[in-house]
C-alpha cells in the first residue's frame, strides 16, 4: 500500500466526522469495480474463457470511469455533510434562513449516498451474468466484488436513512422509496450471485 492509500485511512480514522460512512461506502464500491476489472482482465487473457469475453470487455470499457465516479461520490459525500454542519452553524436568530439551509443541506447529504446505492446495484447487475462465464480461477474475486458492492449499498443506505430521519416532504419520500427499491434489488442480486458462485465452485 502506498502513502496515499494510508493517508486516506488516517483521514477516515481521525476525529473529523468527514470522511465518514458515506464516503467509505463509495470507496468500497471503487474497490468492487477494481476487483471486477481484474477478473475481466484475467478472463480475457485466455481463449478458454471466450464465452465471458464480451461481458469482460463491457466491464473493462467502463471500469475506470466507474472507479473515478465512485471516488467522486466519496468526495461529494464528505462535502455534503460539511454543508450540513455549516448550515447548523448559521445563527439561530436568522431562523428562516437557517431552517431552509439545514433542510436543503440535509437533502443533499441524503442524495449522494442514494447515488452510491444505485451505482452499487448497477455493478451487481453486471457481475451477476459475468459470474457464470468468467475465468473460474478468479470466481471468488468476482464474488468478493459482489459482496463489496452489496456492502457499499447497505452502508450508503444507512447514511440515507440517518439524513432523512427528521425531515419530511415529497422529496424525502422519493429518496426513501428509491433507496428501498434499490436495496431490495441489491439483496436479490447478491443472493443469486452467492448461489451461482457456490454451484460453480461445487461448494
Percentage of the chain with pLDDT > 90? Answer: 90
Q: How many Å apart are CA 12 and CA 145, to the nearest integer?
A: 22
Mean pLDDT of 191-196: 98
Q: What is the pLDDT of residue 1?
A: 60
Q: How many Å apart are CA 188 and CA 149, to the nearest integer?
A: 13
Q: How many Å apart are CA 22 and CA 26, to the nearest integer?
A: 7
Containing 5, the helix (H) or strand (E) segment is helix 3-13
Q: What is the pLDDT of residue 3?
A: 77
Question: pLDDT band for position 187 (50/70/90)?
Answer: very high
Q: How many Å apart are CA 120 and CA 84, to the nearest integer?
A: 25
pLDDT tens digits, one per residue of 86-124 = 999 999 998 889 999 999 999 999 999 999 999 999 999
Our CA angle for 184, 180, 108, nearest 5°, is 140
pLDDT tens digits, one per residue of 168-184 = 999 999 999 999 999 99
pTM of the model: 0.94
Q: Up-side HSE of residue 98: CA atoms within 13 Å toward CB? A: 9
Amino acid at each position: 500500500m502506498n502513502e496515499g492509500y494510508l493517508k486516506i485511512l488516517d483521514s477516515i480514522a481521525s476525529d473529523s466526522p468527514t470522511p465518514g460512512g458515506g464516503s467509505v461506502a463509495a470507496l468500497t464500491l471503487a474497490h468492487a469495480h477494481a476487483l471486477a476489472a481484474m477478473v475481466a482482465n484475467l478472463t480475457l487473457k485466455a481463449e478458454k474463457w471466450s464465452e465471458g469475453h464480451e461481458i469482460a470487455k463491457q466491464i473493462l470499457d467502463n471500469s475506470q470511469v466507474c472507479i473515478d465516479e465512485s471516488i467522486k461520490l466519496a468526495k461529494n459525500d464528505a462535502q455534503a455533510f460539511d454543508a450540513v454542519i455549516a448550515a447548523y452553524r448559521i445563527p439561530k436568530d436568522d431562523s428562516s434562513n437557517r431552517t431552509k439551509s439545514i433542510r436543503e443541506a440535509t437533502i443533499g447529504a441524503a442524495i449522494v449516498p442514494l447515488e452510491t446505492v444505485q451505482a452499487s446495484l448497477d455493478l451487481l447487475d453486471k457481475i451477476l451474468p459475468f459470474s457464470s462465464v468468467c475465468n473460474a480461477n478468479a470466481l471468488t474475486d468476482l464474488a468478493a466484488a459482489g459482496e463489496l458492492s452489496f456492502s457499499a449499498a447497505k452502508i450508503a443506505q444507512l447514511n440515507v436513512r440517518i439524513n432523512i430521519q427528521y425531515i419530511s416532504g415529497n422529496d424525502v419520500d422519493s429518496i426513501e422509496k428509491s433507496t428501498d427499491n434499490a436495496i431490495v434489488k441489491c439483496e436479490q442480486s447478491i443472493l443469486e450471485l452467492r448461489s451461482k458462485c457456490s454451484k460453480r465452485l461445487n461448494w
